[in-house]
Amino acid sequence: MARWGMVIDLDRCNGCQTCEVACRSENNIAVGGPQAARENRTISWMRVHAEVEGEWPDVRARFVPQPCMHCDRPPCTLVCPVQATSIDREGIVNQVYARCIGCRYCANACLYTVKYFNWTRPVHPSSAEPGLNPDVSVRPVGVVEKCTFCNHRLQRARDLARGENRPLRESDYVPACAESCPTGAIAFGDLENPTHRVARLSRDPRAFRLHEELGTQPKVYYLTERD
Amino acid sequence: MTDIEIVSRLPQDERVLLMPLVRTTKTFWRWAAVMAAITVWGAFTYVHQLRRGLGVTGLNTPEYWGIYIICFVFFIGISHAGTLISAILRVASAEWRRSITRSAEFITVLVIGFGAVQPILDLGRPDRVLNVVLHAQPFSPLLWDVLSIGLYFTASSIYLYVPMIPDLARIRDLGIRPRALYAFLAIGYRDTPKARHTLERIIAVLAVAVIPIAVSVHTVIGWIFALTLRPMWHSAIFGPYFVMGAIFSGIAALIIAMAILRRVYSLEAYFKDVHFNNMGLLLLVMTVLWFYFTFAENLTVWYGGEKAELATLYSKLSGEFAFPFWLMVACCFFIPFGLMARRATRGVAGTTVASVAVVIGMWLERYNIVVPTSLHTMVEMASVHYVPSWVELSIMAGTLSGFILVYMVATKFFPIISIWEIKEGREKSIDEVSERVASYLPDDLAAVDS
């Protein structure tokens, strides 16, 4: 059984936010516009956080792309009263938009603030409509949504591999953010499969996870910057 | 003979206590109209929210919960007035309870619905609320909450209704309108010594049973927060802290209700100075307990010194939330303690002022629990603030006025002081209490030896 995970090399990330844009168009994320930004209601399943350390002139900026951490012990799934969010057998934390009652308990329980709520009816500008991805459902108002590791791509890749009567290859299933990263900072694959890059990178001495100490066991690893 | 004539010929207790059922003043109608108008306004704004989505609130990311959840905790807290206080006083055979239990139980039953509806107002998809039953997930504290509140509402309704049966039967026998209502509710009760005995045994069992149920309700509400890993929510003190806070605000709400009822229905002879004094003493105990719990909670956070916890704590002590925090401390501790610690200010006016402060303070406490933690996320975010919108404030006002309105209406249909219990107190309790006190005293050794 695969255990899908991601390794993000902070040394390679230059903060270009291509991953954010790729994620938006892949997953039909609504365009909130300036009003949503003002009201802190924007939705961005992948978000590049900029952290500034030190004081001028000795300033260091670092960029930390943050998707859902797909915790092995997710705090969000346990609190959901209707089982609208759950972790599947391959470790992907999903959200069932058709069942979610919008209580936002999961969003509050999430330590990484990566669950997003549709405060208003999601808007897609007419120019973006032809480009909507038919594999990803458009969310209604009033439900929580989140990064799914583009698991619709997994379904497609698996169908394809089955059709060609071969096992799933590492390159078959890559989320939009990893695929689009121009510096190759985002690696994706099966953490349990020793032939996959992520399996090796997640054991790298530079590897760490966000708030590892809290025991949520995220499957998104980061590689610290080299000095 | 009109209802008013029937009632005016009755002896004192029945005359005074049944008069509100048959005579309604202009002032009542005026206040009822005001309350109804605010409630309708609140309902109207909710329809607006239903059509537009939760975007009409001031909520945002990461301030996912706001006024509705604050009001949920607050109103369910108020509901602990009745059942718990009345049950404890009954179990403890506190004789001064007789005139106040009914008004307390009515608060519980009538406010609990207004509290329980708050999380539904807060839902993004209220149309799917039944999923909580259809797809119940037993590990969710929200599900536990639905169960415990449901059980509490059922138990406290029974606990309100059963002790009211003899009064309802009396009203039925007097023929006060609406006759069909009282005939139905009195379920054919005849006030024989045997029936009375059965009734009192049922009440005794109910009084014991509702106490753990009431405790479970606010414990579970505390756990909704405490079972997350968020700074200053993830705390073992929350269950008992919430129960204590609920009783505290419940006592305060009951004192305010008593003060108003006493004035509008001329019940000075029933809600006497001694009742306010005793309730004031209870309030004093809870004030000190509140200080103890709050101190213990904050000291633990401060001494632990964990980064995210400290940031949340300092935002309350000296940062963005210093005003609501210290106002809460004044309202929940300094004002009620100052007033209730002295006999001179433990009269009607003093206890009422202290209670108003406590109710405001306990609302602020829930604000100080919900909002600062929400805004202190574990990952760094741009600074976000929460300003409730007019929709949230209108719905809050509508909820409060809706509760006041149904309480006012209830006093027009049911005696707000238990008539038969007052009568029983006059006829039986004085002897019983003398016997009881005598039984506490040392036995006569000579008599025991023989």
List alpha helices for B100-192, DSSP H.
101-116, 118-121, 131-134, 141-161, 165-174, 179-185
Q: CB–CB of B135 and A107 under 8 A? A: no
Among B120, B370, B379, the residue to mutate for chain A (most A Cβ within 10 A): B379
Q: Which of B227, B231, B234, B381 is nearest to B308 (CA)?
A: B231
Chain A residues inside the 8 Å CB shell of B124: 100-104, 117-118, 141-144
Report the residue from A119, A142, A210 with minimal CB separation from B379: A210
pLDDT score recorded for residue B450: 60
Scored b (16 or more CB within 10 A) or e, A167-195 reads ebebeebbbbbbbbbeeebbbbbbbeeee
Q: Which of B64, B54, B55 is nearest to B374 (CA)?
A: B64
The chain B residue lying nearest A83, using CA atoms, is B137
Q: Which of A4, A6, A15, A3 is nearest to A225 (CA)?
A: A15
**Block residue for tokens 């719990």:** B293
The 10 Å Cβ neighbour count of residue A119 is 26
CA dist B290 to A60, A190, B285, B331, Å? Answer: 46, 52, 9, 11
Q: CB–CB of A42 and B64 under 8 A? A: no
Q: CB–CB of A78 and B53 under 8 A? A: no
End-to-end CA gap in chain A: 37
Within an 8 Å CB–CB cutoff, is residue A66 touching chain B? yes
- Asked if B250 and B174 count as a contact pair (C-beta separation under 8 A), the reply is no
DSSP B334-399: IHHHHHHTSGGG-SHHHHHHHHHHHHHHHHHHHHHHHHHHHH--SS----------HHHHHHHHHH
Residue A201 phi/psi, 5-degree rounding, is -65, -35
H/E stretch holding A60 reads strand A60-66
Q: CB–CB of A107 and B136 under 8 A? A: no
Within an 8 Å CB–CB cutoff, is residue A203 touching chain B? no
Chain B residues inside the 8 Å CB shell of A104: 64-65, 122, 124
SS3 B22: helix
Report mean pLDDT in 10-residue bins for chain B, 450 residues: 89 93 94 98 97 94 95 95 85 90 94 95 96 95 94 94 96 92 94 93 94 94 95 95 96 96 95 95 97 97 93 95 98 97 95 98 97 89 89 97 97 95 90 88 76
Residues within 8 A of B (CB atoms), A 130-169 only: 140-144
Residue A50 phi/psi, 5-degree rounding, is -105, 125
Q: CB–CB of B60 and A102 under 8 A? A: no
In angstroms, the separation between the Cα of residue B295 and the nearest Cα of chain A is 25
Report the residue from A42, A103, A140 with minimal CB separation from B142: A103
Q: Which of B117, B107, B112 is nearest to B355 (CA)?
A: B107
Within an 8 Å CB–CB cutoff, is residue B141 touching chain A? yes
Q: CB–CB of A105 and B381 under 8 A? A: no
Pairing of strands A4-9, A220-223: parallel
Read off the tokens for A18: 């291509």
Strand partners, A53: A60
> pLDDT tens digits, chain A, 227 residues: what are they?
899 999 999 999 999 999 999 999 999 999 888 999 999 999 999 999 988 888 888 888 889 999 999 999 999 999 999 999 999 999 999 999 999 999 999 999 999 999 999 999 998 989 888 889 999 999 999 999 999 999 999 999 999 999 999 999 999 999 999 999 999 999 999 999 999 999 999 999 999 999 999 999 999 999 998 87
Q: CB–CB of A75 and B374 under 8 A? A: no
- Asked if B207 and B91 count as a contact pair (C-beta separation under 8 A), the reply is yes
pLDDT score recorded for residue B358: 98
Distance CA(B323)–CA(B329), nearest Å, equals: 10
Report the residue from B61, B124, B228 with minimal CB separation from A109: B228
Q: Global pTM? A: 0.94
Distance CA(B28)–CA(A57), nearest Å, equals: 71
Q: CB–CB of A41 and B55 under 8 A? A: yes
Distance CA(B227)–CA(B236), nearest Å, equals: 9
Distance CA(B322)–CA(B314), nearest Å, equals: 8
Report the residue from B135, B136, B380 with minimal CB separation from A51: B380
Q: How many CB pairs under 8 A join A and B?
A: 135
Q: CB–CB of B124 and A42 under 8 A? A: no
H/E stretch holding A94 reads strand A93-95
Peptide bond between residue B119 and the one before it cis (omega within 30 degrees of 0): no
Pairing of strands A85-87, A60-66: unpaired
Q: CB–CB of A83 and B374 under 8 A? A: no
Nearest 5°: the CA angle B132, B133, B134 is: 100
Chain A residues inside the 8 Å CB shell of B374: 108
pLDDT score recorded for residue B432: 87
Q: Which of B281, B215, B201 is nearest to B244 (CA)?
A: B215
- Asked if A123 and B130 count as a contact pair (C-beta separation under 8 A), the reply is no
pLDDT score recorded for residue B45: 97
Distance CA(B90)–CA(B217), nearest Å, equals: 20
Residues within 8 A of A (CB atoms), B 210-249 only: 224, 227-230
Burial bucket for residue B71 (CB in 10 Å: 0-12, 13-18, 19+):
buried
Chain B residues inside the 8 Å CB shell of A61: none
Within an 8 Å CB–CB cutoff, is residue A87 touching chain B? no
Distance CA(B431)–CA(B67), nearest Å, equals: 51
Q: Which amino acid is at B266?
A: S
Within an 8 Å CB–CB cutoff, is residue A108 touching chain B? yes
Q: CB–CB of B381 and A113 under 8 A? A: yes
Q: CB–CB of B125 and A105 under 8 A? A: no
In angstroms, the separation between the Cα of residue A11 and the nearest Cα of chain B is 20
The chain A residue lying nearest B53, using CA atoms, is A120
Distance CA(B23)–CA(B46), nearest Å, equals: 35
Residues within 8 A of B (CB atoms), A 25-54 only: 39-42, 49, 51
Distance CA(A29)–CA(B322), nearest Å, equals: 38
DSSP B247-290: HHHHHHHHHHHHHHHHHHTT-TTTS-HHHHHHHHHHHHHHHHHH
Distance CA(B226)–CA(B239), nearest Å, equals: 8
Q: Which amino acid is at B79?
A: S
The 10 Å Cβ neighbour count of residue B272 is 15
SS3 A115: coil
In angstroms, the separation between the Cα of residue A83 and the nearest Cα of chain B is 6
Among A105, A114, A213, A217, the residue to mutate for chain B (most B Cβ within 10 A): A105
In a 13 Å sphere around the CA of A78, the CA atoms on its Cβ side amount to 14
Chain A residues inside the 8 Å CB shell of B132: 81-82, 101
| Residues in Cβ contact with A62 at an 8 Å cutoff, skipping those fewer than 6 apart | A10, A50, A51, A53, A225
Report the residue from A101, A120, A210 with minimal CB separation from B125: A101
Distance CA(B36)–CA(B31), nearest Å, equals: 8
Report the residue from A78, A102, A111 with minimal CB separation from B139: A78
Strand partners, B126: none
